[in-house]
Amino acid sequence: MAKVTVIGAGNVGATCANAILHMKYASEIVLLDIKEGVSEGKAMDMMQTAKLYQFDCRIKGVTNDYKATADSDVVIITSGMPRKPGMTREELIGVNAGIVNNVVSNALQHSPNAIFLIIANPMDPMTYLTLKSTGLPKNRVIGMGGLLDSSRFNYYLSQALNVAAADVEGIVIGGHGDTTMIPLINKATYKCTNVTSLLSKEAADKVVADTMVGGATLTKLLGTSAWYAPGAAAAVMVKSIIMDEKKVFPCCVYLDGEYGQKDLCIGVPAVLGNTGCEKIIELDLNEEEQQLFAKSAAAVKNTNNVLYDMKILKA
């Protein structure tokens, strides 16, 4: 059984840890935070459900004690300032880059063989930053956004079709941003039937538009970033890695020629197994989808350039 560390005991981190407990694929979870008492309290609260939910995994909360994270198989990074209403993910880059660099460096000292899953926003640049600043092989640094965006896409599809979300298959690629994600409506299906034949163009366009502002919609309602779906998405991805399930998930990975792009981390379908990102799946995109992906990639690269402009990364 595996050891998983979740750095950041806020809403997303705690929800992720709780989801892993319920999925029962880890033997040990370490929940780490900088605020004294928060991770310890949340870990204790979760452990007090062990009898009720019948799980054997142990979760330990610690305050800035990276020694406790030693020999983790996967490290999940949720640390950083959450989005506030009206704030874009990109506006977070200056603050969160320093936080992510620090926690990744500390975690890597004690778990040199770990696979890193990045949730911190803005997720695409933070994944790129982690890869470039650590020098880790590209298969061991993965960003979570694509699966979350796809889950939201499937939710809106199921609502529009009035069917079970489990019976809908939709995927979102591109950047994890309100203007950079690409819900592939022409490839979405319900029971092997393309949804565009089941929805009016107006309804299909609304599903795409609602998906693209799915995170912002929740931020406006909640006053902060969402946490249930992000936490669950991360837990599912880690399960595929730990259990070597080799499932295909849309996630943020490093491209080196795939989709005609190089030197950026962006959302595409990838096979996740016990070595991390084991294979990138190249979809057959139509001309419009190719243009949208190229536009998304350019926007993500522009955001990455901020890391160089701010001297966080050296050219």
Q: Which residues are catalytic?
A: 176
Q: How far apart are CA 53 and CA 49, in angstroms?
A: 6
Q: Which residue has the tokens 């040990």?
A: 28
SS3 readout for 172-232: EEECCCCCCEEECHHHCEECCEEHHHCCCHHHHHHHHHHHHCHHHHHHHHHCCCCCHHHHH
Q: Which residues contact 278 (CB under 8 A, 6 or more apart)?
A: 139, 246, 270, 271, 272
Cα distances (angstroms) measured from residue 1 to each of 12, 48, 77, 231, 243: 23, 21, 21, 21, 9
Close Cβ partners of 200 (under 8 Å, ≥ 6 residues apart) = none
Residues 6+ apart with CB under 8 A from 189: 168, 169, 170, 195
- Check: CB of residue 263 under 8 Å from CB of residue 163: no
Q: For residue 243, count CB atoms less than 10 angstroms from its CB and return exposed for 0-12, middle for 13-18, buried for 19 or more.
A: middle
Cis check for the bond before 183: say yes or no (omega within 30 of 0). no
